[in-house]
Structure 1
């Protein structure tokens, strides 16, 4: 059980594996008014930057779960670097089937709602982990501009226009599912650039060092095609944000 090696290569030394920079992550932590001792379960925790920096800055405690052994190892190293290893722990496992434990104050799934087959299913997973009145954090794409055709949809790594909603539609979905939206922090085009372009440099450095690797042809195609796809489609049409929700 692990992610394909290409994911690890693409993400390289990135600490936040979404179009969210450190300032926006810090803004989110302040916006949801984290108190010392707040317990957090972070499903699909990546390299653990959310838990580690919030443990350092706000005194939270918690657990991160991720299917990538490489990302989990990086998260543990980051916790040690920041001196918060006694406050947070990271588990290599399937976040979609993480067992329900002691209810937590905050349950997060930032940028990986595929674990529940979409927003609705992911909120069900998070709700099972929350104490009454607890907060869910969901990171999700949305259409910033309505895509005019299927070529644009595919250029945004979607299969159909219905894969995402526009921002009012996404906010409306939260309400339909019985959740109050109480905070949000949205990515911007620079956030997308910083995330996407970092991949290109990681890929190029890896290709220079590994020209004969079996993955080289696949990742060379990605590096050739992705910059044009990003500037033509992704950064223009696709938004992304983290939404804080409390069950009604």
Structure 2
């Protein structure tokens, strides 16, 4: 099964699609202090939960969501319609790097999708091109809670410089030309809720769909759970930074 379909199935019961709680998500969006008739962009939106929440909080706002997964975008359209914001949400089936907007945005998000731009620095450079002068960027990125062992790096297929520690992650963001105005560091409980949901939702789907696709989904869930429980749990952290260009 292709990667983005696995991701869509795994996030079925956790549409935030990051180790972030409902309350933390709302706090981040409120701290963005969007103006009336704000324009919002999510690069790698998945099922668009972040921007649907933004539209619910700001009834005059409009949003664009960009993703390569047709399944995720179809789910996003259904969610937006069910929650009464579909007329203010435009969904684009394209790569995050391929999106072009005709006007600047007041808030640009890229949460858990910085791989689309080769990492945090490339993501923030791309996000800045979409931001208006007073706009804000909301970016979610991993960081090393503790120094990873060679064995854990091998499990993650990552190098030691894949991420920095928390201080270094903030420094990387600010070197790109931003100031940090707020942030949320995910707790262990948020991580556990996210990972058990990820692996459990995919396992549930696999057991309901016997056959080659179900076998592939079940294998992906078990592989992911092993890498998490035996590898990056308490090693990899996640921080969502609210940034302003300087």
TM-score by length of 1: 0.91
Uncovered stretches (5+) of structure 2, i.e. residues with no partner: none
How many residue pairs align between the two structures?
244
8 Å contact from structure 1 (residues 3, 68) kept in 2: no
Could you give the per-residue CA deviations for residues 78-117 of structure 1, whole angstroms, max 9, x where no partner exists? 1111111122221211111111420111111111111211
User: CA 1:233/1:247 → structure 2, altered by over 3 Å: closer, same or farther?
Assistant: same
Alpha-carbon distance in 2 for matches of 1:77, 1:19: 23
Distance 1:77 1:219, change over 3 A: closer
User: How far apart are 1:176 and its partner, in Å?
Assistant: 1.8
1:69 corresponds in structure 2 to: 70
Partners of 1:65 and 1:95 within 8 A in 2:
yes
Moved more, 134-143 or 35-44: 35-44
* 1:8-157 alignment, distance < 5 Å: 8-59=8-59, 60-147=61-148, 149-155=149-155, 157=156
What is the root-mean-square deviation of aligned Cα atoms in Å?
Answer: 1.9
**In structure 2, how many angstroms separate the alpha carbons of the residues matched to 1:66 and 1:224?**
26
C-alpha contact 2:43 2:110 (8 A) present in aligned 1: yes
Flag the 1:225–1:116 CA change in 2: closer, same or farther, 3 A.
closer
**TM-score normalised over the length of structure 2:** 0.91
3-state secondary structure, aligned to 1:15: coil
Q: CA deviation at 1:134?
A: 1.4
* Alpha-carbon spacing, 1:116–1:200, altered in 2? closer, same or farther (3 Å): closer
1:163 partner SS: coil
**Residue in structure 2 matched with residue 230 of structure 1 by the alignment:** 228
